[in-house]
Each structure stands twice: as structure tokens, then as C-alpha cells.
Structure 1
Amino acid sequence: MIIEFSYQNFRSFRDATTFLMKADAGKSKLDNTFIVEFNTGNSIQLLKTAVIYGANASGKSNFIRAFFALTFLIKNSAKFNIDQNQLITYEPYELDIHTINAPISFKIAFILKDIKYEFEIAYNKNRITYEKLNFSPKGQVSNIYTRIISEKENYDTIELGKNLLDKKINKKVFKNQLYLSKFGIETPHDELTPIFQYLSNINIWNAYDKFSISDLSKEIATSIAQPENKILKDRLSKLIRVSDTRIESIGSKELKKDNFKFPEEIPENVINDFLRANRFQTFAIHKLFDGKKEIGKTEFDFDRKESVGTQVLLALGGKILQTLENGGILVIDELDNSLHPKLCKFLIRLFNSKISNPKNAQLIFATHEVTLLDHDVFRKDQIWFVQKDKHGNSELYNAGDFEGIRDSTNFEVWYRTGKFGGNPEIKEIEFIYE
């Protein structure tokens, strides 16, 4: 579970920014929180969901992209060639001459197997400039490893902490690679590989990006086609059915080459790549009528015959149900895209419910939909806002920071009337046509 995520000098965020999933001392909506007991006897109360609001171009999506940049480097940097000239996730704040070439930094605090970990990195255009992994197995912070920066060699060295049990590992890493990344790609390790897996498995999706939704739909189609995932398929069918789509159930089937008509001039390797990418097809079962009389069922190709909103529901709903079943963290940009607000609230409540979220999975999402600002859905510590200052710098702040705010406050009214900020300041019509 995530406790805290901090970053600095990333895209529109110039200053040090901290996002928390730690609950405040409030006693309302305790189902929206959960308690983790550490092996030391101490405990921490965390939130199951958090929402981020802000005007267009305020920085909401950049907040989501910060998660993506960190996890991308963890998942992929061990594959970077030594001669790779630029880290593609290096996107600093470019409206200040002091930051335009400065390092980007990330820090994430999380809990894995009831132990708290902290992972910190910094990097510039060409190399990793800082990397450290700490944990607190006995309550006190202890270092697992620290990166030692070399100014002369084309690689850095690693200093291992005293509490790392298996020290028979390579202690060198190329300058453009994260050391942690090596333990999910080339070097198995009983202590470090689970940390790599945990952080790299943070799921990040953009509901507004049709390519992202298409990729996610293919992933869900592959999952529900497997017999061992029958429970997921049945729950997804129920979710789509209760969403008033008039779909009775959904399924997925494997397609063969004969199911497609390829022009003769297309090379075989291109055909094979296409078949691998489109191996499974999702279908929807609808009732078939003769006038008003139901006479059977009929099958629809999900991608060709269902609405965009229903396709988004299949993709996001499938991923949400997977996350609830397995545990973990799901981060979504534009959750409300093509989905009715009531349906969005329902999906959020799936995370806040003890029945549907027994493993305490966490959902973090950005949205414009103000009707989700319902005090029956959120506590004040679950609500965040992003707003740009006069320098174009994005600032992230929590609803709980405001004086007079309570968990019973009408959050939507406060937001609509500008008490929280985060709303666009739109000039009058005359400004455009003067």
C-alpha cells in the first residue's frame, strides 16, 4: 500500500510536492480507511481512495504522469543501452532557468508484507544522480542500498546496507539504469525482486486515451478467456449488467487466422504480429426479440457494436475488479471519461467497501466530474486539488488544509463556488472579441 508519493521539478510541478494516502485522525467513513499492523506492534491508518481535481492544464495529468515516470524507469531502465543519450522520462519544469536542466526527484513510501519501505531517486537528462532504498523491519530506518555516484567511470557502484541478507550480487550499474530495475529483468533476488515487482505493478491508465483503453481491453479480453478467471468474467458481466447497458453477459474467444481477411501482399510476420496483438475478441450477449417476445440470445462484437462508454466500462471495470481481487494500486487519469457519474460513484464505492475490497487495494484518480465530490463518498482527506500559480507552477493541496472544512461539508458547493480553488478563471466573452 502507498503511504506517500513525493516529487520535484517534474513537468508543471517546479517545487517539492507531497501526496499522502495516510488518513487523518477523523472518525467518519472508517470503511474508506484501513489499518496496517507492523511487525513492531505499531500501526498506520491508510486511505483506500483519493481523487484529484483541477482546471484544464492545471497539472492533474502531470500528477498521474509522475507515477508513470517512476514506474517506467523501474520497469525498463535495466534494458537501457550504455550509449543511450537521454532518459526519455526527463521532463523538468521549463519555465524557470534554474530548473530547466536540474534533476527530477521522486520518493515513494509504501508497505510490503507489513514492512515500511522508502525508495528515492533523482535523474537528469543523461543519468541517474541519486538512488536509495530504505526499510524499517524493526521500527528503525535501515538502509538496503545506496548508489555511489562516480564522476569518471561509465558506471556507478552500490553500497549495500548491513540488513540486506544476500550480498552476493553485482554492485555495479550503468549510469542510466536504476539498480532496482536489474532485479526484475536480469538478476533474481529474494529480497529485492519483490520490491521491484510491487512498484512496477502499480497500474496506471488514461481513460481518455483511446489507445490506452484499447490496450487495456485486449488485456481484459485475454484474462476473461482463461478458465481459471471465471470469477472475474462473471463479476465483470454482473458489473456491466447492473450498469443498465442491456447486456446480459460478456465473454471472450480466441481468434484464428481464418477469422480475418488479409490482403495477399501483407508479409507473414506482419500478420503474425497482428494475430498476437488481437488474439482474443470480447463479445456481448444480448436478448433477441420477436416484437416484444423474447426468443433467445444474440452475440455482438464488443469493439464494433457497443458504445464507447460501454467499451470504457469493460476496460476500466475489468481492471478495477482485477485490482480488487489481487490487491495493489490503480492510478487512473480521467476516470469519468464516457462514464455516467452514478457509475463512477459505484466504482469508487467498490474500493471503499470491505465486501468488495478485502485486500485493501487503493484507487487514485483524477477527474473533472464535480458531482463525485459527495461527502457520502469521500472524507475530506481523500480530496486533492491542483492549481497553477502566476509562474505556471502546479501546486497540489488537500481539502483538509482549509479552515472550517469538515467531513460533513458539502464539498461540491465549496468547489463550485471557488472556495477550494482549482477552478478555471474564464474571462468574459468580450475579452475574446475585443
Structure 2
Amino acid sequence: MVIDFSFSNYRSFKDNTEFTLKADSIKSKIDNTFEVDFNSGNTISLLKTAVVYGANASGKSNFIKAFLAFTWLIKNSYKFELNKQQIECYEPFELDINTQDSPVNFKISFAIDAIKYDYEISFSKRKIDFEKLDFSPKGQTSNLFERVLSEDSDYDTIELGKNLVDKRIPKKVFKNQLYLSKFGIDTPHDQLTTVYRYLTNINVWNASNKRTINDLSKEISELIAQPENEKFKNRLSKLIRISDTKIESISSKELKRKSFKLPEELPGEIVDKFYENNRIRTFSYHKVFDGKDEKGLREFDFNAKESTGTKVLFALGGKILKTLENGGVVVFDELDNSLHPKLCKFLIRLFNSKISNPKNAQLIFATHEVTLLDKDVFRKDQIWFAQKNKFGCSELYCANEFEGVRDNTNFELWYRTGKFGGNPKIKEIEFIYE
């Protein structure tokens, strides 16, 4: 589970920005929190959900993209070619000449198996400027590895910590590659591969992006097509059914090549790629009637016949249910896209419930939907806002920083009336047409 995430000089965020899932000591909505008992004997309380609000271009999407850039670099930098490949996710703050060529910085604190870890990186357009991994197995921080920069070589060296088990691993890494990235592909290691797997399994999705929804739908379709996932398929069917879609159930199956009528003159590699992308077909099942009498179920091609909102529910709902089943962290931009606010609240409540979230999975999301600012859904320490200052810098702050705000405060009213900030400042019509 994630404890803290901080970053600086990334997109619209110039200064160091700190986001935390540590829970305040307030007693309300205890089900929205869970306890982590570290091996050191220390205990902290963490939040299961957090939401970020803000006007258009306030920085809330850039906050989500910070998670994506961080995990993407860990997952992909192992394959960067020496001196040839720029680091694609290098996007510094460009409205200040002092930062436009400076490193981007990320740091995350998280827990795996009751042990706290801290991983920190800095990177420029073509090189990693800093990389360090610490852990605290017995309450005191101990280093697992730290990058040592080299000025006259094509690679940096790695200094391994005394508590790192099995030091028979490479101790050199190209300048544009993260050292941790190597332990998910070609170098297995009991400690480092575990950290790599955890961080790259933080799922980050833009729910308003059609391609993202299609990719996620394909992933969910593949899952429910597997017989061993029957329980998951049934649970997803129930979620879609109770959402008033009039769908009774869903299923996916693999079609045979002969099911597709393609021109014979198409090259084999194109046919193979088409089949791979379309071999799994999802179906929905609706009741059919003879007047008022029910006559059974009819099968429909899900992608061809169902609404955009139902397709989004299938994709996001499936990912949410899988995250709840396995544990972990899922991050969404525009969670409310094509979904009714009441349904969004239900999906959030799935994380806050001990029944549906026994493994304490965490949900972080950004939205414009103000009706989700419900005191019956969120505590004040779960609500965040993004806002730009006069210099074009995004700032992130929590509702619990405001004097007078309580957990029974009408959060939606405070936000609508501007008490929290984070609202657009729209000029009058006369200003536009003067």
C-alpha cells in the first residue's frame, strides 16, 4: 500500500508537492481506513481512497500523470539504448527558466509485507541523476542500494547496502536506465524484484481516453474468458446488473479464425495481428419478452450493442473488482467519465467497505463531479484540491488544512462556494466580446 508520494518539477508542478494517504487521528468513518502493523512494532493508519478536485488545467490530471510517468520509467527504462534514447517522460516545468532543464524528481513511500520502503529518483532528458532505495525492516532506515554517478563513463555504478541479500547481481547500469528496472526482466532478485513488481503494479488509467478504455476492456475480456476466473466473471456480471443496465450477465469467449471473413489477399502478418486483437469477443445477455411474458435470454455482441457508459462500467468496474480481489493500488483520471454519480459513489464505497475490500486495496482518482463530495463517503483527509497560482504553478492541498472544516461539513457546498478554492475563475461575457 502507498503511504506517501511526492514530486517536483514535473509538468505544471514546479515546487515539491506532497500527497499522503496517512489518515488523521479523527474517529469518523473508520471503515475508510486500515491499520498497518510494521515488523518494527510501529503502527500507522492509512486511507483506502482519496479524491482530487480542480478546475480545467489546474493540475489534477498532471498529478495522475506523475504516477504514470514514475511507474512507466521503472517498467521501461531497462530497454533504453545507450546515448540514443531520450527519457520520454521527462517533462519539466517550462514556465520558469530555472527549471526548464532541471531534473524531474519523484519519491514514494510504501509498505510490502509489513516493511516500509522509500524509493527516490531524479532524471533529466538523457540520464538518471539520482536513484536510491531504502527500507526499514526493524524500524530503522537501512539502504538497499544507491546510484553513484560517473562523469567519465557510459554507465553509473551501484553501491549495495549491507542488508541487501544476495549481492551477486550487476553493479553497473547505463546512465539513462533505472537500476530497479533491471529486476523485472532479466535479473531476478528476492528483494528488488518484489519492489519492482509492487511499483509497476500500480495501475494508472485515464477513464476519459477511448483508447485507454478499449485496452482495459480487452484486459477484462481476457480475464473473464478464462474458466478459472468464473467467480470474478459472476461478480462483474452482478455489478453490471445492479447498475440498471438491464443486462443479466456477461461472458467472453475465444473465436476461431474461421469466424472472421477476411480478404484472401491480405498478408499473413496482418491476418495474425487482426486475429490476435479480435479473437476474444465479449457478449451481454438480455431478457427477451413476448409482450409481458419473459421468454429467456438473448445474446448480444457487447461492443456493438451496448452504450458507451456500459462499456466504461465494464472496463473500470472490472479493473476495480480485480484490484479489490488481489489488493494493490489503482489510480484513475476522470473516474466519473460516462458514469452516473450514484454509480461512482458505489464504486468508491467498494473500497471503503471491509466486506468488499478485505486486502485493503487503495483507490486514488481525479474528478470534476462535485456530487461525489459527500460527507457520507469521504473524510476531510481524503479530499484534495489542485489549483494554479499566478506563476502558472500547480499546487496540491488537502481539505483538512482549512480551519473550521469538520467531517460533518457540507464539502460540496464549501467547494461550490469557493471556500476550498480549486474552482475555475471564469471571466464575464463582456470580457470575451469587448
Same fold (TM over 0.5): yes
Give the ranges of 4+ consecutive aligned residues of structure 1 lying more than 3 Å apart after TM superposition.
none
Q: Which runs of 5+ in 2 are unaligned?
A: none
* Map 1:351-362 → 2, pairs under 5 A: 351-362=351-362
Q: Which residue of 1 aligns with 2:123?
A: 123
* Map 1:35-54 → 2, pairs under 5 A: 35-54=35-54
Whole-angstrom CA distance in 2 between matches of 1:183 and 1:343:
39
* Map 1:100-111 → 2, pairs under 5 A: 100-111=100-111
Q: Which residue of 2 aligns with 1:320?
A: 320
Shift of 1:430: 1.1
Whole-angstrom CA distance in 2 between matches of 1:85 and 1:267:
32
Q: Which residue of 2 aligns with 1:95?
A: 95
Q: Which residue of 2 aligns with 1:339?
A: 339
Letter of the 2:27 counterpart = K
Shift of 1:261: 2.1
Shift of 1:266: 2.1
Shift of 1:264: 2.9
Contact persistence 2:135–2:142 (CA under 8 A):
yes
CA offsets 1:346-372 (integer angstroms, 9 cap, x no match): 000000000000000000000000000
Whole-angstrom CA distance in 2 between matches of 1:167 and 1:409:
54
Q: Which residue of 2 aligns with 1:401?
A: 401
Letter of the 2:311 counterpart = Q
Contact persistence 2:205–2:212 (CA under 8 A):
yes
Whole-angstrom CA distance in 2 between matches of 1:189 and 1:141:
20
Whole-angstrom CA distance in 1 between matches of 2:32 and 2:26:
11
Shift of 1:344: 0.1
When normalised by structure 2's length, the TM-score is: 0.99
Shift of 1:315: 0.2
Shift of 1:255: 1.5
* Map 1:9-408 → 2, pairs under 5 A: 9-408=9-408
Letter of the 1:398 counterpart = C
CA offsets 1:205-257 (integer angstroms, 9 cap, x no match): 11100000000000000000111111110000000000000000000010122
Whole-angstrom CA distance in 1 between matches of 2:415 and 2:126:
41
Contact persistence 2:255–2:279 (CA under 8 A):
yes
Contact persistence 1:109–1:116 (CA under 8 A):
yes
Shift of 1:196: 0.3
Shift of 1:274: 1.8
Letter of the 2:353 counterpart = S
- Aligned with 2:180: secondary structure? coil
Whole-angstrom CA distance in 1 between matches of 2:57 and 2:69:
19
When normalised by structure 1's length, the TM-score is: 0.99
Whole-angstrom CA distance in 2 between matches of 1:279 and 1:358:
34
Letter of the 1:359 counterpart = K
Shift of 1:81: 1.1
Q: Which residue of 1 aligns with 2:424?
A: 424
Identity percentage of aligned residues: 69
Q: How many matched pairs? A: 434
Letter of the 2:395 counterpart = E
Whole-angstrom CA distance in 2 between matches of 1:11 and 1:41:
39
Contact persistence 1:208–1:334 (CA under 8 A):
yes
Shift of 1:83: 3.2
Contact persistence 1:218–1:278 (CA under 8 A):
no
Q: Which runs of 5+ in 1 are unaligned?
A: none
Whole-angstrom CA distance in 2 between matches of 1:316 and 1:292:
34
Letter of the 1:313 counterpart = L
Shift of 1:84: 2.5
Whole-angstrom CA distance in 1 between matches of 2:159 and 2:10:
28
Whole-angstrom CA distance in 1 between matches of 2:260 and 2:288:
26
Shift of 1:325: 0.2
Whole-angstrom CA distance in 1 between matches of 2:265 and 2:405:
66
Letter of the 1:277 counterpart = N
- Aligned with 1:191: secondary structure? helix
